[in-house]
Structure 1
Amino acid sequence: MQKQRHYSDTVYEAEAGLWSNCLSVGDLIVTSGLTARGEDGKTIVGSDAYEQSQVIFQKLKDLMEAADGSIDDIVQMTIFVTDMSQNTKVWKARREFFTGDFPSCALVEVSGLAQPEILVEIQALGMRRCSAN
């Protein structure tokens, strides 16, 4: 099986040699840690954990669809937050995107992310054709 890179017009892609936002091998789909950076790769979209999580879940949805999957095909996520007290805002946004059995998930508080304005980062692992939808 070959590794394949997937792109979405809605997700900023770093220059070659840094990272890939979404890769697949067979039916396995893996995303990098995604943040609420805008399409320019610089501007942070959203002023709180809820708004940033909405942006990130939309990116996950778009990348999963680019890889011929769906957001409900995500089976595992790791969510990094800079303030654990904001977890309910992240969960609220998550409920807006997932149906059926939600992915297994770890929520981890970290002392900081790539920029001080970034409050949430999410990485995910999915399997094509595993959702009931």
Structure 2
Amino acid sequence: MAMKRIYSDQVSEPQAETWSNCKVAGDFIQIAGCVSGYENDVIAGGDDVYEQARITFTKIKNLVEAAGGVMDDLIKVTIFVTDITRREEVWKARREFFTGDFPCSTLVEVSALARPGLAVEVEAHGFLGSSK
């Protein structure tokens, strides 16, 4: 089974030779930890945890769709937050992207993410076409 890197015009790619945002092997889709983004040290979504989560789930949706799937094809998400007391804001955003049975989910509080100010990072795994 061949592995294929997935690109979306809606999601910026990491620097060369660092990581891939999304790869597919057969029907299995793996999405690396996504964050809302940053440019010139400005965090997309600012200090708003809900907005950072919404932007992050939108990026995941764009990658899943670029691979030919839908969000309900995801079977597991892992959510990393820097302040677990704000988890309801993350869950509010998550509810906007899934229907029916939600994917399995793990929520982990971490001391920091890749850049100061980032509050949410999400990685996802699934099987394309599995929600049909």
Alignment TM class, shorter chain as reference: over 0.9
Deviations 1:4-39 (A, max 9, x none): 00011111101221000000000000000000105x
8 Å Cα contact 1:4-1:25 kept in structure 2: yes
1:19-98 superposed matches below 5 A? 19-37=19-37, 43-46=42-45, 47-98=47-98
Give the CA deviation at 1:49: 1.2
TM-score with structure 1 setting the length: 0.94
In the alignment, the residues of structure 2 paired with residue 43 and residue 27 of structure 1 have an alpha-carbon distance, to the nearest angstrom, of 36
For the pair 1:6 / 2:6, whether they are aligned, the reply is: yes
In the alignment, the residues of structure 2 paired with residue 2 and residue 16 of structure 1 have an alpha-carbon distance, to the nearest angstrom, of 21
Give the CA deviation at 1:42: 5.8
Give the CA deviation at 1:43: 4.0
Give the CA deviation at 1:41: 8.7
In structure 2, runs of 5+ residues without a counterpart are none
Size of the alignment, in residue pairs?
Answer: 131
Letter in 1 for 2:24: S
Moved more, 8-17 or 92-101: 8-17
In the alignment, the residues of structure 1 paired with residue 109 and residue 10 of structure 2 have an alpha-carbon distance, to the nearest angstrom, of 27
> Cα distance 1:8–1:43, how it changes in 2: closer, same or farther (>3 A)?
farther
Bigger strand share = 2
In the alignment, the residues of structure 1 paired with residue 62 and residue 40 of structure 2 have an alpha-carbon distance, to the nearest angstrom, of 16
TM-score with structure 2 setting the length: 0.94
In structure 1, runs of 5+ residues without a counterpart are none
Letter in 2 for 1:44: I
For the pair 1:106 / 2:106, whether they are aligned, the reply is: yes
Identical amino acids, percent of aligned pairs: 50
> Cα distance 1:41–1:63, how it changes in 2: closer, same or farther (>3 A)?
farther
Letter in 2 for 1:52: Q
CA-based RMSD: 1.4
Give the CA deviation at 1:126: 1.1
